[in-house]
Amino acid sequence: MRFPRKVDREEGLLSLDFLIGFTIFLIALIFVGIMISGLLVHLQSRTIDYDAVAYRTSVVLVEDPGEPANWQLADLQYPAERANVKRLGLAIQKNYPGILLQDKVGKFFDDTSSTGCLAEGTFCNPEDYREKLIFGDYPYHFNISLKTLDSSSQTRSVGDPVPDQSRYGYIKRIVKIQKPDSIHIYNATSESESCLKTTSFRFNITKLYDDVPPPYRIDPLSQNVSILFRNFSQNGTGAWPSITDIQICTYPIALTGGGCIGADAYDDSPRMIVTIDGNKEYNSGDPAANTVTDYVSINLEKGFFTRIGYDRFGTIDLIMTFDQNVTNQDYNYDYSSSAASLPELQSAVLEVWVW
């Protein structure tokens, strides 16, 4: 009870009890604060999360060649080969970010099932893309679209249609796509000018790789090889040349354990396809049917060399033997033999939406 005019000598003082109590309270508050901030670290806003996932996805697509780096050669009909594809990067090499390989782009956008995992030989949509590209436990929806800057080109897309209203993560990347080299053309010579029944096309992989940087490189190990051997003529008796044998050999045998295999060593893809005069396939068992009156077209499907164990350190010869003289030289599959164009780059835009 307060009395007027009576002086209370304890009034306005801060007691030691209060200080101790207040200190304990503040220390407790600090601990709580520290613990709450630790809890908050794990919380993210939805926008940041989706944008970050979209950015990460674009980095994998544009700056990473994938795992394995030549995953575009995988035959998706075989579960083991499909499972072996760990990451779907589209870059030609990790040292060349932004330069995409056309074969990877094609496989990524075209070899996809419309939905689910029912179709054989394609990526499961969206399961494989989530597992090998977007990652994370959350089942993100996505749309990945690519369009070359050529105005006539169509947009290639994989994933769901982009929603109009809901919030999504987004990123746009400018890229270039490597178009592989075109067909390589070689001319036969008339019998009077010829001295060789055997024609040899040499693939010096090391030289192809060393001369030119990867974005502009002819790469028989991972791209289709197309050879057109033309301008055949009749001999003095009026007979057209006939193919008697086709072999692919690698050198040096001592280092690579190489040797030769025939043109018809494989029936399934990737294999060698030899077409005579544009209408009949080479048949090693029927020499009479292998007469050439115009040209021979040889296609080595991408991954063929890798399938038979040849690598970038090898020198490979494609040897065709005829029953009469057809040429006077050996040929090189190199940068001077491409008929129309060497590998070129084409600008494109890649957009990623994640929600």
Partner 1 sequence: MVTDDGQLYTIEGIAAALMIVVTAYLVVSTTTVLTQQDVHIIDLQLQQLGNDALAMMDTPNKYGDESNLSSLVKGNKTNEFHNQFLAYLNVESGSGMVSGNYEYNATIYYRNISGINSFSFDESQEYYRENAVKVSRWVSLKEFNPSPQYIPYLEPGNRTVLLEVQLWRE
Residues at the contact surface with partner 1, assessed by CB under 8 A:
7-9, 11-14, 16, 19, 22-23, 26, 29-30, 33-34, 36-37, 40-41, 45, 47-48, 51-52, 55, 58, 97-99, 143, 145-147, 149, 155, 157, 161-162, 164, 170-176, 212-213, 215-216, 342-347, 349-351, 353
- 12 vs 139, beta carbon nearer partner 1: 12
- 108 vs 232, beta carbon nearer partner 1: 108
CB 343 within 8 A of CB 182: no
- 17 vs 267, beta carbon nearer partner 1: 17
Nearest distance from C-beta of residue 308 to partner 1, angstroms: 29
**Number of other CB atoms surrounding residue 57 within 10 Å:** 23
Instruction: Please give the torsion angle defined by the CA atoms of residues 71, 73, 77 and 83, in that order, rounded to the nearest 10 degrees.
Output: -20
- Strand, coil or helix: 305: helix
- 34 vs 288, beta carbon nearer partner 1: 34
Nearest distance from C-beta of residue 38 to partner 1, angstroms: 9
Nearest distance from C-beta of residue 222 to partner 1, angstroms: 18
| Distance of alpha carbon 220 from alpha carbon 111, whole angstroms | 22
**Residues in contact with 208: Cβ distance below 8 Å, sequence separation at least 6, in sequence order:** 217, 218, 219, 220, 333, 334, 335
Nearest distance from C-beta of residue 90 to partner 1, angstroms: 14
- 134 vs 326, beta carbon nearer partner 1: 134
225-230/260-262 β-pairing: unpaired
Nearest distance from C-beta of residue 114 to partner 1, angstroms: 17
Cis peptide bond prior to 68, omega within 30° of 0 = yes
- 147 vs 307, beta carbon nearer partner 1: 147
Burial class (CB in 10 A: 0-12, 13-18, 19+), 322: buried
Give first-to-last CA distance, the chain, whole Å: 68
- 265 vs 342, beta carbon nearer partner 1: 342
| Distance of alpha carbon 312 from alpha carbon 306, whole angstroms | 9
Nearest distance from C-beta of residue 4 to partner 1, angstroms: 15
Nearest distance from C-beta of residue 144 to partner 1, angstroms: 9
Residue 220: both structure tokens together: 């028989």
Q: What are residue 108's phi and psi, to 5 degrees? A: -65, -45
Residue 178: both structure tokens together: 């490597």
Strand partners, 351: 145, 172
- 88 vs 298, beta carbon nearer partner 1: 88
The single residue listed with the structure tokens 């008796």 is 237
H/E stretch holding 175 reads strand 169-179
Nearest distance from C-beta of residue 2 to partner 1, angstroms: 14
Nearest distance from C-beta of residue 171 to partner 1, angstroms: 6
Q: What are residue 312's phi and psi, to 5 degrees? A: -70, -15
